[in-house]
Amino acid sequence: MRLPYKQSLLVSAITLFVAVACSKPAAEYRQSLFIFGTVVDLKLRGVSDQQAKEAVQVVERAFQRMHRDWHAWKPGELSALNRSFASDKPHPVTPFLLPLITQSQLLFEQSEGLFNPAIGKLIALWGFHSDELPSGPPPSPEAIAALVDLAPGMDDLEVSNGQVRSHNPAVALDFGGFAKGYALDIAIDLLHKQGVESAIVNAGGDLCVSGDHGGRPWRVGVRHPQGVGILAAVDALDGECLLTSGNYERYRKHDGVRYPHIIDPRDGLPVRHIASATVIDREGGRADAAATALTVAGPGDWYHVARRMRLKYVMLVDEAGTVYMNPAMARRVDFQDGAPERIIISDPL
């Protein structure tokens, strides 16, 4: 059938419009993944839906591998390595796991041992190697002392030619305070490799951003220490990550006492004085490790640790709700329900 001239022009115009509309980048592509026991929200901008979908699939596959191979207690590469430490023999490690170990060694040293992923046995002793929250009385002081006295640390590990051995059989690696941040770095990297410039990857309030949000910075929230809603809003700039360590979500409770999941490697006890620590950094892994180290350091020592780790933006909230910040962080946070009653601003870092 031949259409009259005017009608065929109209059809061509519509076809052209539909074709342009389909190839035009969608304003924002959103997808949620359930991984690491949490929901990871991704928002991608400036690419077509199809490109975004494929890019997210690549990220999802990487996340699944991390979940398996970096898991501290379920069968996978890390748990096999941990078993090998009993023997003081070198054990081969894939290039997928190795950087977690070498970077953690550096962060362990910079944090003066407060970030210490070698204390997996202590974390297990406290019952946190389980998907469920532990219950019942805390472990005995003798059992805790037995592990603390052996002083497992990242400096017990010898890394050479892709092999790792531990000179201390008390070492067991647990990257619960690092892997999420490091995974966010990899996710952003994978998105870049697929041509995605503007994106946010948000794992329950721990996030990294790339590019911007339609000409404006990505507006993100700082997790509330009590675990409900957000404490403050911040503009996250291209390449920044914001990570929070919190003591409220995972803990055991016995006789009215809470025993949170962040452990002070010096005495083997859960940290109680700090409710949350937030760090903004250009590396998610470093920010995650630093937030854990600052939680352990507490109100008295955080400033010293932040300087040693060369951090730029730090905020802590203690059990009484007092907020501690460096001036550069104070200039960036926008508290949501009015400013907290007590804010202590340190000297510049």
State the residues that interact with ligand ADP by CB under 6 A. 115-117, 123, 128, 174, 176-177, 245-246, 249-250, 261-263, 265, 288, 291-292, 295-296
Residue choice 288, 293, 296, 311 for contact with Mg ion (CB under 5 A): 288
Decide whether 68 or 331 has the Cβ nearer to ligand ADP: 68
Integer Cα distance of 247 and 259 in angstroms? 9
In the block, tokens 């950094």 appear at 281
Which does residue 263 bind out of Mg ion, ligand ADP, none, counting CB within 5 to 8 angstroms by kind? ligand ADP
Distance of closest approach, residue 18 Cβ to Mg ion, in angstroms: 48
Query: Smaller CB distance to ligand ADP: residue 198 or 292?
Result: 292
Q: Closest approach of Cβ 204 to Mg ion, in Å?
A: 13
Least separation in angstroms between residue 292's CB and Mg ion is 3
Of 82, 111, 292, 326, the one binding Mg ion by CB under 5 A: 292
Using CB distances below 5 to 8 A depending on partner kind, what does residue 265 bind out of Mg ion, ligand ADP, none?
ligand ADP
Smallest gap from Cβ 18 to ligand ADP, in A, equals 46
| Per-residue CA distances from 271 to 17, 24, 251, 274 (Å) | 60, 51, 10, 7
185 near Mg ion, judged by CB under 5 A? no
CA distances from 188 to 33, 249, 344 (A): 15, 26, 34
- Cβ 135 to ligand ADP shortest distance, Å: 16
Residue 247 engages Mg ion in binding (rule: CB under 5 A): no
Residue 245 binds to Mg ion (criterion: CB under 5 A): yes
Footprint (CB under 5 A) of Mg ion, residues 254-273: none
Shortest Cβ 134–ligand ADP spacing (Å): 11
- When CB distances are held under 5 to 8 angstroms depending on the partner's kind, the choice from Mg ion, ligand ADP, none that residue 115 binds is ligand ADP
Q: What contacts 247, CB < 8 A, 6 or more positions away?
A: 225, 260, 261, 262, 270, 271, 272, 274, 275, 276, 295
State the nearest-atom distance from the C-beta of 214 to ligand ADP, in Å. 29
Does position 177 interact with Mg ion (CB under 5 A)? The reply is: yes
The item of Mg ion, ligand ADP, none sharing an interface with residue 123, based on CB under 5 to 8 Å by kind, is ligand ADP
29 versus 178: smaller Cβ distance to ligand ADP: 178
Dist. CA 147–CA 118, nearest whole Å: 11
From the list ligand ADP, Mg ion, none, pick the one residue 287 interacts with, judged by a Cβ distance below 5 to 8 Å according to partner type.
Answer: none
Could you say which of ligand ADP, Mg ion, none residue 296 binds, taking C-beta under 5 to 8 angstroms by partner kind? ligand ADP
Nearer of residues 283 and 288 to Mg ion, judged by Cβ: 288
Angle (CA) 102-103-104 rounded to 5° is: 90
Contact call for residue 244 and Mg ion (CB under 5 A): no
Minimum CB separation of residue 116 from ligand ADP in Å reads 4
For binding to Mg ion (CB under 5 A), which residues are involved? 177, 245, 288, 291-292
